[in-house]
Amino acid sequence: MFGKRTEIGDQGAARAQKAQAAPAAAKSLSPFPPQRPAPAAPVPAAPTETRKSDEYYITKSVIFGALIEAIDLAQLSKLDPDNAREEIRDIVNEIISIKNVVMSISEQEELLDDICNDVLGYGPLEPLLARDDIADIMVNGSTKTYIEVGGKIQLTNIRFRDNTQLMNICQRIVSQVGRRVDDSSPICDARLLDGSRVNVIAPPLAIDGPALTIRKFKKDKLTLDQLQRFGAISAEGAEVLKIIGRVRCNVLISGGTGSGKTTLLNCLTNYIEHDERVITCEDAAELQLQQDHVVRLETRPPNLEGQGAVTMRELVKNCLRMRPERIIVGEVRGPEAFDLLQAMNTGHDGSMGTLHANSPREALGRLESMITMGGFSLPSKTIRDMIVSSIDVIIQAARLRDGSRRITHITEVLGTEGDVVTMQDLFIYEILGEDANGKIIGRHRSTGIGRPRFWERARYYGDEERLAAALDASEIAGAQ
């Protein structure tokens, strides 16, 4: 660390002295609007209220400007994060002393953390990113930041100095994965380095300032056993899902936004054998597969000249040349649906994907619509026959009105009768009511199907006894 002042620190101390004599020059380099404090009076201290006031941001703006004047950013970039943070804290402490800022120790620590986060991290977002109980962060302009905790959305006291600071943080996030967001490209999907999914939509499309949405990465990867403990699925249903993942059924996971589709997909991939070659295709890489032999592919947006884009369909088509044993598509949302079905139907058993739909029946309709809109001039019956021959199981996930997430259907695709695709439910979730706290009371039950269509596949893998036991036990539990 820094037992003695480094060259940066020595220069910083001298610059901090100079910044007092020339505050205008210091503040001109700040990303915030310049604020000139009264020369004879100390700068107002940061308030102690939960929601920071304008005086706090004035104080922070003045000190931030002096820091930019005092520190050598080129030298700072050569330090590791811990040393860089320590260096910034040292110089900010000197600036606070020189400028005679009156604040308590706790207020000073809060200011130091905020400034370090601005220079080295994601600014006001850092405290939220550090919390593992947050599922989503939603920033609606510089003054309103919401989070989702326990399935419920709540307003936080986090705010940005202005939309310019928020836009700078958005650009910092997307640039780390080779993407950009600006007037010419105001919509961007990206990810944080830890895998959290990011969407940015900037002005002029976002009228009230940049809108930033982050789907948080879970440090502790969930399993089907944990989903069972949370009540998302019954023990018998979880056992059937484990068998479905192991015996290489082609699976489509359907659900609404925030229903837990990606989490469920991660859980199912835990039952892929470790000697299988798995290739994933995603718009923004967020899947967390545990296997050794995984190739992760990610789409690419066009460059400034509008060239060089790589679409999901191109990735899926290229997968077929990479000797895959399983293909995992993070989200099916366009004509790549056709290529995924082709892959499932040509020997790549055990492939999986997710899409947005509110029921298993609607999921099949959406698949058909995606293929039709992709420009494939195929009769509807041909498309439906392709769907039936490709997809074995549809798993429906839902986020209920109390914020809880449940697997509501495990449904087999059987065949066609005329122009209608026939399906049968193996498990469904029944809502029975709600308790005094508004929490939904329900149960998972088997529909009593003795032998599902993938029974022979389970027998091939030696799992027919486990499958029979799970279905029998669930039928008994449902009858009770």
For 137-182, how does the pLDDT look when each residue is reduced to its tens digit (9 = 90+)?
999 999 999 999 988 899 998 888 889 889 989 998 998 888 888 8
Residues 301, 332: one domain? yes
For 91-144, how does the pLDDT look when each residue is reduced to its tens digit (9 = 90+)?
888 887 777 777 777 777 777 777 777 777 788 898 899 888 898 999 999 999
**437-441 mean pLDDT:** 88
From 161, 189, 215, give the residue that closes a domain: 215
Instruction: Write out the residue range of the structural domain in which residue 85 sits.
Output: 7-119
Residues 229, 340: one domain? yes
* CA distance linking residue 8 with residue 25, whole number of Å: 20
Share above pLDDT 90 across residues of the chain, in percent, rounded to a whole number = 38
Q: Say whether pLDDT at 208 is over 50.
A: yes
* CA distance linking residue 66 with residue 12, whole number of Å: 10
Asked if residue 137 belongs to a domain, the reply is yes
From 67, 100, 119, give the residue that closes a domain: 119
CATH number at residue 253: 3.40.50.300
From 215, 247, 264, give the residue that closes a domain: 215
Residues 167, 242: one domain? no
Asked if residue 1 belongs to a domain, the reply is no
Q: What's the domain count of the chain?
A: 3
Residues 17, 64: one domain? yes
Residues 112, 133: one domain? no
CATH number at residue 187: 3.30.450.370
For 449-463, how does the pLDDT look when each residue is reduced to its tens digit (9 = 90+)?
878 999 999 999 999
- Quote the tokens at residue 143: 């003054």
- Residues paired with residue 429 on neighbouring β-strands, in sequence order: 444
Which amino acid type is present at position 292?
D
Residue 274, judged by CB atoms within 10 A of its CB (0-12, 13-18, 19+), counts as exposed
Residues 255, 320: one domain? yes
Count CA atoms closer than 13 A to 143's CA, side-chain side. 3
Q: If you write DSSP's letter for every residue of 185-198 in order, what string do you get?
A: S-EEEEE-TTS-EE
Asked if residue 2 belongs to a domain, the reply is no
Pairing of strands 420-434, 405-417: antiparallel
**Helix (DSSP H) and strand (DSSP E) numbers for the chain:** 17, 15
Residues 25, 81: one domain? yes
Residues 468, 376: one domain? yes
| Look-up of token digits 């029979």 | 468
Residues 175, 232: one domain? no
